[in-house]
Amino acid sequence: MKLSKAGAVAGVIVLALTVSGCGADNEAEQRKIAIGIKFDQPGIGLREDGKFSGFDVDVATYVAKELGYKPEQIEFKQVFSSDRELMLQFNEVKFVVASYSINDKRKAKVDFAGPYFVAHQDLLIRSTENEITKAEDLNRKRLCSVTGSTSAENVKAKLAPKAEMLELGGYSECLVALQDSTLDALTTDNSILAGYAARPENVGKFKLANLNLSNEFYGIGLKKGDKELQKKINDALGKMVKDGSWDKFVQQNFGAAQTAAAYRHEPAPQITEGR
């Protein structure tokens, strides 16, 4: 059968549109979003056997879903407390969900959405420790935190200026030193400490001092000036609380800590950033 010139042209157009549509579908499937999280905080952000778990991981996944990304389109990247701002400034990640306390010093470099969680600075001590019952007891004690943490700054500036402070790269390193009695206490947010205390291999070895030494409002960090993304993330966080997902994430990530470490979480905070 002879094909007319008009029919041939129509066929080419249809074929082009089909190929173009397939390309768009493939592009959508390949679209990725990079999110910064912690890799070494049980209950918050943990990478173990190639899998990710923790409250921040659940929050990040929920927010990404509201932005149009499926779980398989998420690329989790490890961030350390000292490099969260740099990761955002150099576009290494789209946003950071990594026990990231909102403060003015950080807001000079990045913007935040949220807050989505409230923690308090506390101490993790050996279960046999009875001498540390208040912040002042840390003076002349050996204390550990991580480089870039607001907890280390708070101790040195306000709580126990005579404490011997050791700042390491990660909390896991501090925990090893605490267990070996090289250090007397590990300080950071109670949510992070509770996660470590609730690990099966740590139950009975450590305890929380249960001192509310500060209020830490966790926010989602994003590149400064991206008000559109800030609004979208705030909307996602509000929906997460309203539909019950926030309570679900808290229970599945901190439930064990409530028993093992007598940990108690605060209610979901009001969103204030960008409002």
According to the model, what pLDDT value does residue 34 have? 98
CA end-to-end distance (rounded Å), the chain? 68
- What pTM was estimated for this model as a whole? 0.82
- Extract the tokens encoding 99: 């026990």
Return averaged pLDDT per consecutive 10 residues of the chain, 275 residues in all. Answer: 47 46 52 95 94 98 98 96 94 97 95 97 92 91 84 85 88 89 92 91 90 94 98 98 98 88 91 94
Same fold, 30-119+215-260 and 121-208: yes
pLDDT at 238: 98
CATH 2.40.37.10 fits 30-119+215-260, yes or no: no
Element of type H or E holding 115: strand 110-119
Per-residue pLDDT at 19: 46
167 vs 181: CA distance, rounded Å: 16
Residue spans of the domains in the chain: they are: 30-119+215-260, 121-208
pLDDT at position 150:
75
CB 117 within 8 A of CB 246: no
Contact 235, 78 (CB under 8 A): no
| Per-residue tokens: 28 | 């959508």
Q: How many of the other CB atoms lie within 10 Å of CB of 142? A: 16
Element (H, E) at 60: helix 55-66
Farthest-apart Cα atoms in the chain, separation: 96
Query: What pLDDT sits at residue 70?
Result: 97
Do you find a cis peptide bond into 200, omega within 30 degrees of 0? no
Give the whole-angstrom CA distance, residue 261 versus residue 256: 8
The CATH number assigned to the domain with range 121-208 reads 3.40.190.10
Closest CA to 62 of 227, 181, 237: 237
CB atoms near residue 192 (< 10 Å): 29
